[in-house]
Amino acid sequence: MVRRRLPEVTQRSRLLLAAFPLLRLSSVIREPLSAVAMSRFFTTGSDSESESSLSGEELVTKPVGGNYGKQPLLLSEDEEDTKRVVRSAKDKRFEELTNLIRTIRNAMKIRDVTKCLEEFELLGKAYGKAKSIVDKEGVPRFYIRILADLEDYLNELWEDKEGKKKMNKNNAKALSTLRQKIRKYNRDFESHITNYKQNPEQSADEDAEKNEEDSEGSSDEDEDDEGVSAAAFLKKKSEAPSGESRKFLKKMEDEDEDSEDSEDDEDWDTGSTSSDSDSEEEEGKQTVLASRFLKKAPTTEEDKKAAEKKREDKAKKKHDRKSKRLDEEEEDNEGGEWERVRGGVPLVKEKPKMFAKGTEITHAVVIKKLNEILQARGKKGTDRAAQIELLQLLVQIASENNLGEGVTVKIKFNIIASLYDYNPNLATYMKPEMWQKCLDCINELMDILFANPNIFVGENILEESENLHNADQPLRVRGCILTLVERMDEEFTKIMQNTDPHSQEYVEHLKDEAQVCTIIERVQRYLEEKGTTDEICRVYLRCILHTYYKFDYKAHQRQLTPPEGSSKSEQDQAENEGEDSAVLMERLCKYIYAKDRTDRIRTCAILCHIYHHALHSRWYQARDLMLMSHLQDNIQHADPPVQILYNRTMVQLGICAFRQGLTKDAHNALLDIQSSGRAKELLGQGLLLRSLQERNQEQEKVERRRQVPFHLHINLELLECVYLVSAMLLEIPYMAAHESDARRRMISKQFHHQLRVGERQPLLGPPESMREHVVAASKAMKMGDWKTCHSFIINEKMNGKVWDLFPEADKVRSMLVRKIQEESLRTYLFTYSSVYDSISMETLSDMFELDLPTVHSIISKMIINEELMASLDQPTQTVVMHRTEPTAQQNLALQLAEKLGSLVENNERVFDHKQGTYGGYFRDQKDGYRKNEGYMRRGGYRQQQSQTAY
């Protein structure tokens, strides 16, 4: 029998594979199953089979990238068949379910409810895919178990009130959602879950799952689970391709241990003999190559016992090595203490050391040590917390050795600066413990400065001219207490910006504002004695910024009920004797107006002053101050925080005008903010989603730092309601007066948009939202039905949403009722004036529940302003209508004339544009057309008719 010689390329590839076992190992891992044609070189069958397989086709191996060492290992067909696994649909579906269940259990261990919710939804979808299999086989017990366990777990979390408070927002929301879903889902499996809870024994499937998790968690145990039968839905480990890859990926340490007994424990294939010596060598090589890597699983009972014994020996050797290593470490530790360090290149840094034993503690030594500590400030790898501790320790050493208050003040300045530098990122805010340290340290520093008037601090003091210990002269320390307080105020704002406003934590942080205000007042008193004018203006502005947005309820109560000295207790009298916020704002702002030399501080002070006036319903003072300041002319050149303050002031001014019943002023003040559709962003109360897409990440961070803390927010729904109600009181009478005017203008585009939205609704039910209430009230006012309009504007729902938020809610409601009555009367007269020849004022008074002088006043104003073509008959107290209004046919004719006129003008412009002769002659001719040919609009028509009528 003659063998055909193998191609030269294949022989070379074999030699390379034999020479480099590591290459072969990587090839096996990379490509465990080769093509069928390539695997015939490692066949272990008879010579006749190999000849018949080789004689029919010619095998050509292609090198990959010119590197023959990367050729895949060629496996025989028989062995390929043993490794290929055909899995049933049941195994696949059940394995998918068990993987999801394992992920859910891991999430339950770490209390990640959000992950549980995501995986539970995936589990439901996977169960739906396996529905056909479940109908045949029945619901698997491991699925019932996870449903029961998950429901118990969620109920336990739900009953844990303290734990729910500590949950973050996402987990709390996911807990509520998942609890509802699992309760609804488990109704379909109620009988199964009940049976399971009565007999809660573990199924074989879950045993397999647990064993698999244990085998993954421990590196010392082997991965063969022979005592577990998972044939229901899991493959055996010996059949899985993952088991083969694990056998190749053993540690080098285990390979060295197994090398001694590997020949006895493994079952190797043997090649057939041949008469040809060359073929014997080749067969030998094939056998060696195949037997090198292709290990078969033990089949007989003796092989299993041998494998078990080998595992025990291996575990014993590993335990011995571990105990020996621990003994060596203990022996090494006898000479001195050792500490475990992290891997990687250590940072080369020298930690500043405190004074050596016996060193005399003097001013020079302490200052030198202080400079050593400060030199590490800002360097890479510097432990900022340790630096703060060293500075605090240095303060204690200085006080113990009585080095004087000058040294203590200097170190305190540096401690506060180090606390501010603890977070190098501008966006991050101080931790609560650091914030409390900062407040305590500033208070201690102020105590020292007030107790020692001979200490002078300032930025203009050079370090060379400092006097820290010479008591004969005033002590001079470089540092600015005002800068520290301004930074403290900024940190407080940053803390409030980064805290959830609806949590208890926000309330706790807000309580710190009292401490912040107290510190600012102390610095204010200190600088009034020793500070410059600029510093006093700066600290006054800080005090104003913490006062302007607060409503003074005590002053308001004193205005409503004048105090009686005999009935008041001493504590109440002391509180009433305190300075009103209005007096305080007046004093601080006037000082800034007179002394400040920077436009920014003066601008901020004016805006805060206007805001405070408007908040306390002092409309005329606020309006006059705004008009005299001329801020609206150049506010666009100010920086964004000042622009946000200007927008907030204008909004508060509009709300104040509305409370006073000045709807036109309120509408004008709120028009710019509300018409933009970006009120939330312009007031610094949040970012819109559409604007986030236009900004990059850095711009978004800058915008978020400009946001106003939640306790300074203006209610946007109240703001929109005030604007829409003001627009309704202006727009509805105007629409009634110019109903047939083709060129009437819109006073409020947003109000018209809301009206169009209401008209487009196919089904009109009772109003729900605030906007729907205003639209319904507008429709009622248009018909002159003031009572229906009143019921839509003022009711329990609107009171809770809007009107009860005002300080004097009853006063605002009574003002609104009167305004609705007056504007409904005007609308009624505009709408139905063409129906009446005359109407009695007493009838109008009874209809709109207004007194007779008010009705007389309203009608007189309408006649004077030529809004109503009528006259008053005083003896009979009636309104006599004049037939001056054009009929419907005349209105159509007027509109046609206006449209024809505009068409002629456009035609002439187009013609002249083509000819290029649009000049003075035609313009004069056009003017003549307008003047001489008697073209007049509806107003002219009405004027002419009114002249003939009188």
Classified as helix, coil or strand, 879 is strand
Query: What phi and psi, each to the nearest 5 degrees, are found at residue 374?
Result: -70, -25
d(CA 636, CA 216): 65
**Residues whose CB falls within 8 Å of the CB of residue 241, separated by 6 or more in sequence, listed in order:** 32, 83, 85
Question: Dihedral of the CA atoms 931, 936, 942, 945 (nearest 10)?
Answer: 60
CA dihedral sign, ordered 771, 776, 778, 779: positive
Q: What is the CA radius of gyration of the chain?
A: 45
What is the model's pLDDT at position 650?
94
Element of type H or E holding 840:
strand 838-840
What does the alpha-carbon distance between residue 215 and residue 243 come to, in Å, rounded to a whole number? 12
Q: Which region, left, alpha or beta, applies to residue 201 given φ > 0 means left and ψ of -120 to 50 means alpha?
A: beta
Contact 422, 384 (CB under 8 A): yes
Q: Which long-range contacts (CB under 8 A, 24 or more apart) does 679-684 make?
A: 679/651, 679/716, 679/719, 679/720, 680/716, 682/644, 682/647, 683/644, 683/647, 683/648, 683/651, 683/708, 683/713, 683/714, 683/716, 684/641, 684/644, 684/647, 684/648, 684/708
Tokens of 379: 């360097």
3-state secondary structure of 764: coil
How far apart CA 623 and CA 928 sit, in angstroms, is: 46
Q: What is the pTM of this model?
A: 0.58
Tens-digit pLDDT profile for residues 324-374: 676 665 555 444 445 555 554 444 444 445 676 667 778 788 888 888 888
- Contact (Cβ atoms closer than 8 angstroms) between residue 274 and residue 3: yes
> CA torsion sign, 336 to 340 to 346 to 347?
negative
Closest-CA residue to 723 (of 772, 674, 688): 674
- Please report the DSSP string for 26-92 in residue order: HHHHH-SS--TTGGGGG--S-HHHHHHHHHSS---PPPBTTBGGGPPPP--HHHHHHH-----HHHH
Phi, psi values for residue 458, rounded to 5°: 180, 160
Place of tokens 């480990």: 237
Report phi then psi at 505, rounded to 5: -60, -35
Distances (CA, A) of 914 to 104, 335, 917, 918, 929: 77, 105, 8, 9, 22
Place of tokens 């699925």: 143
Can you tell me the distance from the alpha carbon of 488 to that of 435, in angstroms, rounded to the nearest whole number? Answer: 9
pLDDT-flagged residues of the chain (< 50): 1-10, 13, 15-82, 203-283, 285, 287-288, 295, 333-337, 344-352, 565-568, 570-571, 574-577, 918-950
pLDDT tens for 764-820 read 788 888 889 999 999 998 888 889 999 999 988 888 888 888 888 899 999 999 999
In this predicted structure, what is the pLDDT of residue 818? Answer: 93
Reduced to 3 states (helix: H, G, I; strand: E, B; else coil), residue 467 is strand
Q: What is the pLDDT of residue 689?
A: 73
DSSP H helices, 616-715, are: 619-629, 631-634, 640-659, 663-675, 679-682, 689-694, 697-705
Q: Are 648 and 685 in contact (CB under 8 A)?
A: no
Which ranges constitute the DSSP H helices of 70-168?
77-83, 89-109, 113-129, 131-137, 141-159, 161-166
Stretch (H or E) spanning 830:
helix 809-832
Cα separation, 196 vs 144, in Å, equals: 7
Pair of tokens at residue 652: 């508060």
